[in-house]
A = this chain, B = another copy of it.
């Protein structure tokens, strides 16, 4: 494999000139530039990105940390990220956190290493020590589906979304509404998710009582939804509506409800969250979340920060919209 030096020698010029042709090519006469380019082609020269990264102190690599690549939510976010990255030269390395030990491996200060020009973190709460390090190293980072006092972030306006859902359900005569949510951060400190607080606020605004027994945090999977709904039906058999924190949980919950011989939506209405592709085919009412747009936006913010246009630790909130479908139909007029 040939290097910049080979090209220089072959073309009878100095290394500096070749390098200049490589980047922008300013201050090089057309004649020599052509000669050099021709030589590069002839030698099948390709620049070594690693060497370039070392010299420039910038790797052209972005890192994204997600909890479970398997969920369509993250897949869509990733797609948004790729959209934003397509016109650039950045490569994307993905780190998945599926177990507590992954979390340690990725966020742990221990043997953490240097590279990446910026980081995107989805649905995960980075430990303070990690944030400290980021800030100290000057590595920009953006949170997706989360918030942090020292980092910029993008997220969903869950308060508004849940207001829509609760309004819709009450309008169609439901009064005992349950929430089966996923954790904001599956490995983070257990605390009320953003959806959960939105749910409470919405109930409150609607003048409805809050019953902690009607709020469950379940695994982010169909099984998680199913188990949760069973538990729910044992504790509160009289519920007439379920809101899930994700579509896949809603799907499992509906399955569980039907397995008990109850009808959806007649006995119990069900609403999902995110609006993944199959929701439509399952006739699942759900909250449509602009997953892709969020990924794209987060990436734009990150790129801007890398370019030096550091944003403050602002939060970009995306509006979500209820999509009414068969599992939670509109009130009969």
B-contacting residues of A (Cβ < 8 Å)? 1, 44, 46-51, 53-54, 59, 61, 69-70, 72, 75-76, 78-79, 82, 86, 91-96, 98, 102, 109, 111-115, 137, 221-222, 248, 251-252, 254-255, 277-278, 280-282
Contacts and interface: CB of A to CB of B under 8 A. Distances in A.
Given A1-B137, A69-B78, A102-B86, A46 B92 contact: no
Given A102-B86, A281-B222, A50 B47 contact: no
A82 B54 contact: no
A49 B281 contact: no
Contacts of A69: 75, 78-79, 82
A137 B15 CA distance: 23
A20 to B, nearest CB: 17
Contact of A278 (B93, B109, B282): B282
A94 B63 CA distance: 11
B86 A281 contact: no
Number of copies: 2
Contacts of A282: 278, 281-282
Nearest to A114: B48
Contact of A92 (B48, B94, B102): B94
A305 B4 CA distance: 29
A66 to B, nearest CB: 11
B281 A112 contact: no
A59 B70 contact: no
A216 B174 CA distance: 46
User: Which of A112, A280, A281 has the most chain B CB atoms closer than 10 A to its own CB?
Assistant: A281
Contacts of A59: 50
